[in-house]
Amino acid sequence: MSNEIAVIEDGKNVIALIGKMAENPDVDVEKMAKLVELQEHIYDKQAEIAYSNAMQELQQEIPAIKALSINPQTKSKYAKLDHINSVITPIYTKHGFSLSFGMAECPIENWFRTTCTIRHKLGHSVKEFIDLPLDDTGIKGSVNKTPVHATGSSNSYARRYLTVMVFNLTIGGEDLDGNAPKEMTGDELIISMQGEVNDLLRKLPEARRVPYLQEMQVAEKEGHLSVDYLTTLKDSINSDLK
């Protein structure tokens, strides 16, 4: 029976074999269970392949997103979440994807974790997350939002960051004309670099990861979360990973 299981590669063949075995009153229950397990494995693999292929196809269709909004504090351009969604939602849903966001426990005090589950219609899903401090202060470190507004602002920022990361979006300037995308500047470049930092931090044990995240929290509050700062931080984490 083990040789038969090894050569069965198509899910339909497995279903047919299970059907025939089920008609036999003397069927070996253990062998049947192995076939069912194999069938589930095949379905999972097929769903994973379909997810990967669909993601590749939709990324070929998604255009660069124009940065039409201006941050009044930093004077940098960025793309609002509703604008990003208006461009990409019809495309990713056409390819069978859906996004759902949620909250999870964050290991850093006074920070929160936003999760994003990317599901494909054939069953495969991937979960991403980002840890962020509450966005209740301006670039000078003074409180500029109520707790309710700070939570909403932080949640919007997290969802925007995760959406950009999930689909590898390019955020361009206002005059982007569909040719070669412009280099990211301002907020979007920092968001991209924060994603790279978070990817590196996930490779560290939690005990070594938390100090870096706390350092980023301080930098965020003091308005020091710059490209140079994040570049130095990435170098430090890479050294820690060696």
**Average pLDDT of 78-93?**
92
Which segment of 2-6, 95-99, 127-131, 133-137 scores lowest on mean pLDDT?
2-6
- What percentage of the chain exceeds 90 in pLDDT? 25
Which segment of 115-119, 154-158, 175-179 scores lowest on mean pLDDT?
175-179
The span from the CA of 14 to the CA of 122, in Å, is: 18
The span from the CA of 78 to the CA of 86, in Å, is: 15
The answer to whether the pTM exceeds 0.75 is no
Say how many Å lie between the first and final Cα of the chain, rounded.
46
- What percentage of the chain exceeds 70 in pLDDT? 67
